[in-house]
Every structure is written in structure tokens, then in C-alpha cells.
Structure 1
Amino acid sequence: MIAIAPASGHDVAPIDALLRSSFARAEEADLVRDLCIAGDMVLMLAAHDEGTGTLAGTVAFSRMDVAVAGKPIPAVALAPVAVAPDYRGGNVAEALIHAGIERLEQEGVVLCFVLGEPAFYARFGFDADFARNFTSPYAGDYLMALPLQGGLMPCGVREHAHHAPAFARLSQP
């Protein structure tokens, strides 16, 4: 059985190790560290195997600067999500993402953005159409958004959707 809860201080080293082993480069682990240091981490969840206490997966949501019709909109970016090899295929990523979205909706977040594979994220309701026309360096088919708060997209001109500054360091040598 998998239990999902906000990450704690005891999870820092296992999350860092999971991120470093799950991705080809250390960028995602560095991103999480930098988001935490900058105070831009909004929610980090950890999934643990209740039988062994092993970290099965993690997901992070960070602060974004988003505006629609001249008004700031409470928004977050989902990234990264990682699942330990022994738990892949067991819906751990899905459970983490659903738990995060539910909690963020309860906390009044209006939009959740993700930069990722449309075929994977569409199952949660993410759609590139919701992210279109926002000014973003990541604009395109892989930038998707999910309206929370009943699924309604805020009305008005979509202005900007800026990720936390730590994202600008991704893919740089």
C-alpha cells in the first residue's frame, strides 16, 4: 500500500537520490533544490511504501507568475514527477499528481501548468489549448495547463505564464 503526504525533512536525501537516478542529468534534482532555496516550492509530495517505508515517488509544484486580463492568477507548475523503478507501472505517478491537484485546488490555486508529454498529462485534464496565448518561453504543444476551481478557465486576455527563475537554468551547461 502506498501512502502520500507532504514531503518532510526526512525525505530530502531520498528525494534527491530518486531524482538523480530517474533522469539522465541532475537538472531535476538541482531544480527542486533551487526552488526550495528560493522559496518558490508550493507543494512537494512523497509517496511511501507503507510496508517498507521506501520512497516510491515524488512530485513537485512550484510558484508561477501568471496574469489574465491584467490580474494575477494563483498558479503553479508541476515538475518534476519521479517514481522509483520498483514502483513504476503501479499508478504511483498518477496517485501523486491527483493528490497534488486536489490539495492545490483546496488551497485556491486556479491554474496548474506542466511542460511534458501531452499523451501522459491529458489523462489528468491538462491541455495545450488552456496554455495557448500565454507569453512563455515554453509556449507550444508541450506547455499545457489545467484549470482548477471547477475546471473553468479564467476569462480575459491571457498575458504571461512565467515559471519560477530556477527553471531558466534547465538545459544549460
Structure 2
Amino acid sequence: MPIRTEQPSDHAAVGALHRAAFGGGHGGTVAGLVDALRRDDPATLSLVAEEDGEIAGHVMFSRCLLDAPHRLVAVQSLSPLAVAPHRQRRGIGAALIQAGLRRLDERGVPLVFLEGDPGYYSRAGFAPAGDHGFRKPSLRIPDQGFQVVRLSAYEPWMTGTFVYSATFWDHDCVGLREPPHV
């Protein structure tokens, strides 16, 4: 399965993929986040997996910060990750994650954070970030869902609070929201 850098000609297919994978209103929110991250962070690493000539999966890694005691550290966030519903559970998401982590490691990125299912992401080397001295940026993020992977450039002094880029906050894509009361 080929994995490659997303091209502008892929944007519509990637948006449709996120709407299908996340469903309902949330799929539109995630597709909007992807569009905004492309616009707001030109260095975003955006990868697609192809299968049978179609976009089967997409992952995005974007610039964030770690507020460490010594200084701010440029880190990355893995968000979002989506695989076409009819192609899930075949290793596409895992392959996208590993390809992205390899590229980020080559670029000298020390840490990658995410919010997600620990059962899934632990297979890609992620661990609960709180267990490694990191603080989450929102109380709405479940402790076990706030995860990190340390890459080659990581140094032990790199601890502190993870800070999402403004784009995540602008799109209200940090942490879990309680269902609205009716």
C-alpha cells in the first residue's frame, strides 16, 4: 500500500474520508480542522495511503509546543487520523502512523502527542503522557487518552505542559465535550 505526502489534488477526497470516518457533525468539524491546519501550518506533515487507486487513509502531524522549564520546545501533534470505514482493521492507520513517526524522527522532532484510544495507539509506541512528566492542556482530556511517543531527539529535561496550536482551539478540537443539555 503506497503512503505518500498529501497533494492539493487530494484535499476533496481527504475531506470526504474524514466526514465518512468520523460521521455526523463531527466529521465536518474534523474536515474543517484539516483544512485550517493546512492553511495555518505550511510545515504540517500530511500523509495519505492509497488502495485500489483511492485515498484509503489520512494522517496529519502539526506543530505544537511543549512549555518546558528551560524553554519552549517545538513538538508535534498527531491529529487527525482516519481510515475509510470499509477499509478499517487492515493496518492502514498503523502504517500511516509509523511512516509519519519515521519522517518526524528524521526531522529531529523530539515528541509527538495525541488524544486517543490507548489500546490502539500503544501498539504504535505511544504511552500515557502523564506517566512521563507531561501535563495535558485541558481538563477535558482523559488522563489515559493523553499520550506521547518519544523520538530520537528527546532529552530528559523535556517535560512540562503540552500546548496545542491556536488552530485546535479555534475549531474546538481539544478534549471531550459533554453532550449539550436539552
- Aligned counterpart, 1:160: 161
Give yes or no for contact 1:19–1:28 (8 Å, CA) kept in 2.
yes
TM-score normalised by L of structure 2: 0.83
Structure 1 counterpart of 2:8, which letter?
G
- Alignment-derived partner of residue 124 in structure 1: 124
Which amino acid is 2:17 matched to? L
The structure 2 residue matched to 1:140, chosen from 138, 143, 160, is 143
Name 1:97's counterpart in structure 2: 97
The SS at the match of 1:31 is helix
Question: What amino acid does structure 1 have at the position aligned with 2:145?
Answer: Y
Distance 1:6 1:97 in 2: 13
Offset from partner CA, 1:1-28 (integer Å, 9 cap, x none): x100110011111001101111132111
What residue number does 1:4 align with? 3
Q: Is the 8 A contact 2:134 2:159 kept in 1?
A: yes
- State the identity as a percent: 28
TM-superposed deviation, 1:41: 5.3
How far does residue 131 in structure 1 lie from its aligned partner after superposition? 5.4
Displacement of 1:157 in angstroms is: 6.6
Alignment deviations for residues 58-109 of structure 1 (CA, whole Å, 9 cap, x no partner): 0000110113232232310001111112321210001000000001000110
Instruction: Please state how far the C-alpha of 1:159 moved relative to its aligned partner.
Output: 2.5
Counterpart code for 1:59: V
Report the CA distance shift for 1:131/1:11 in structure 2 as closer, same or farther (over 3 A).
farther
Partner of residue 38, structure 2 = 36
Q: Say if 1:110 and 1:149, in contact at 8 Å, map to a contact too.
A: yes
TM-score normalised by the chain length of structure 1 = 0.87
**What letter matches 1:83 in structure 2?**
V
Distance 1:55 1:105, change over 3 A: same
Deviations 1:97-153 (A, max 9, x none): 000000100011000001001111111111114554425114722111000017xx5
Aligned length: 168
Q: CA RMSD in A?
A: 2.1
Give the aligned partner of residue 15 of structure 1. Answer: 14
Give the C-alpha shift of residue 53 in structure 1.
Answer: 1.3
For residues 118 and 37 of structure 2, what CA distance do their matches in structure 1 show?
A: 24
Measure, in 2, the Cα distance between the counterparts of 1:136 and 1:87: 32
Looking at structure 2, the residues matched to 72 and 11 of structure 1 have their Cα atoms a distance apart, in angstroms, of 33
